[in-house]
Chain A
C-alpha cells in the first residue's frame, strides 16, 4: 500500500513509510494531550473527595470536642444559657423515622410484590413504577408542603405524626424500587421449583421470593431510613421543633436536623458547638445505617 496521504499531515504516525517506526514520540501532541487529561482527571478525583474528608474532619474536631453525656441527654439551652444538649432531638428523630418506616415499609413491600411478581407488565404496575421513579427526584420540601396542607391544617397542630408521614412519602419510592429490583433478581427456576411443588402464589412469594430477595430489600430499606434520618426540609413545618421531650405524637417535636438548622444561624458559641455535635451524631447515625446497608447488600444468595 503506497498511498501516502497520511504522511505529510501527521509525521509521527507515518503508516506508509518504509521504516515502520513504532516508537512513541514522547512530546508528540497526542501523547501530551493524553498525559494532560489523565493528570487533570486525577486532580479532579482528589478534589472531589476533599469535601467529604473536610466535613468529617470538622465534625470530629468541632463536634467531637463537645460530644458528651450531657449533649446527648439534656434539653436544648436557651439563648444565653450554657451547657445543654439535644436529647429530645435524638428521640424525636428516632420516633419520626420509626413512624415513617412503619408506614412506608409495608406499603412499599406490597407494592413491590405487585410490580415485581404479581403483574409486572400491567398498566397499573408500569404507571406506579414510573411515578415511583419520578418521586425519587421529588423535592423533599414539597413533601413537607403536602403534609402541611393535608395534615397540619386539618389537625390544627404540628406533630410527630405529620413529620413521620412526610418522611414516609420520601422513603416510599426508594423502598418500592429497591425491593422490586431485589425480587426480580430472584432466579425464575427457584420460583418454578416452588410452583412445581404446588405452592400458591402467596406461599411462593412468602417462602421463596421474600427470603431470597431479603438482603436486597433490607439494603433498600436501610438506605431509605438513612436518607430519612438526615432529612430536614420535610420536618420544618410538619413537626416544627420543641424544646421539650416528646410526650405525645400529636404535638410539635424536635429533630436533630432542625436543631442543627436552628442553631447554625445563632450568634452564640454554645449553640454553634451543639450544632456541630448534633451533626456528628446525625452523620454517625446516617453513615452506620448506610454502611450496614452496603454490608447486607454484598451478601449474595
Chain B
C-alpha cells in the first residue's frame, strides 16, 4: 500500500495469553513471581517519584507560602537583607521570553516540518537535514549559553542599538542592548525548542493518510494550497501539541537563560533590556542562598513546577487527541 505508515503494521499491543504458571516447576514459578514483583515496583516507582517531587518541593516551600502568601507571586522585590521576596518579574520574564521563543521557534519549527515532509527534498537529503535539526537538540544548553555570550550578543548588539536609536519610541526597542538581555536569550531559546516543535510536527504531518494528500492534489491544488489548506489544518491538533510542548520546554530551560538574560529583577517590554526567569533565578541564587532565601526559592520552584506541569499536560492531551483522530479515521 502506497503511503501506508509502517508503524501501523507493527504497533500491536502485546497481550500475551495468560498462561497458568502453576504448570511450571516450582522454582520457575517463584522466579516468575519475583520478576513480576520487581517490574511492578519499578513502574510504581515512577508514580512515587512524581509524588515525592511534589511533596518534597511543596513541603520545603510551605514556610515561605505561609509567610508571603499569594503576595509572593505579585511582588516585584527580591531583597535578601530585608526578607522581601516576590517573583512577578521572573514570572513575566519566563512567560515573555518563552512566548518570543515560541513565536520564532514555532514558525521555524513548523516550516522545517513542512520542508521535511512535503516533498521538498529527495528522501536521502531529508534524512540528512532531519539529523542536522536533531543534533541541534543534542547540543548542551550551557554550550548554547557560551555561544550566545561570545557569538550571538556581539552580533546582535549593533542591530539592536540601531533599532533603539531609530525606533526607540516603540516599547519593544525601548532600551539599548548593553550585553545580556531578553533578545539573545529568546533567540537561543527559540533555537533550542525548534527541534522539539519540528519533530512533533513532522510526526503529525506524517500521520496524515496518503489519500488525503491525493484528494488535495486531485482537486487541483498547487503544492502550497495543499499544504496550507489541507495538510496543516488536518495536522492541526498535532501541531498545536508541538507548540505547547515546545512552550513547556522553553519555560523550564535554565542554563542558557541564566547566562544570557542578564538576571535583572525588572519588568520591561523592551527586547534589549535584561530580565530574569524563574529557572534562571533558581540557578543563580540557589548555590549561595541562606535558609530563608532557600524557602523563598522553593516557593519559586513550586510555581515553576505548577506552570510547566499544566502546560505539559495540556500539550500531551492535544497530542493524544491528534493521534485518536487519525485512528478513528482509519
Contacts and interface: CB of A to CB of B under 8 A. Distances in A.
B266 to A, nearest CB: 20
Contacts of B21: 200-201
Contact of A51 (B17, B59, B114, B191): B191
Given A128-B46, A264-B259, A49 B132 contact: yes
B interface bracket (residues with beta carbon within 8 Å of A) = 35 or more
Contacts of B313: 134
Contacts of A110: 38-39, 41-43
Interface of B: 10-17, 19, 21, 24, 28-29, 31-32, 35-36, 38-47, 49-50, 52-53, 56-57, 59-60, 107-108, 111-112, 114-115, 120, 129, 131-133, 135-136, 138-147, 149-151, 191, 194, 222-225, 245, 248-249, 251-255, 258-259, 279, 282-283, 286-287, 297-298, 301, 304-305, 308-309, 311-313, 315-316
Contacts of B224: 33-34, 37-38
Nearest to A30: B222
B43 A114 contact: yes
A44 B43 contact: no
Contacts of A176: 46
A202 interface: yes
Nearest to A226: B138
A119 B36 CA distance: 10
B316 to A, nearest CB: 6
B139 A55 contact: yes
A59 to B, nearest CB: 8
26 contacts: A31-B222, A42-B115, A45-B112, A45-B120, A108-B42, A117-B16, A130-B316, A139-B305, A139-B308, A141-B254, A141-B301, A146-B53, A146-B56, A148-B286, A153-B60, A173-B46, A176-B46, A200-B32, A203-B28, A240-B287, A261-B259, A264-B259, A282-B140, A287-B138, A290-B138, A294-B131
B93 to A, nearest CB: 15
Nearest to A206: B35
A33 B112 CA distance: 18
A132 interface: yes
Interface string A142-184: 1011101110010000000000000001001100100000011
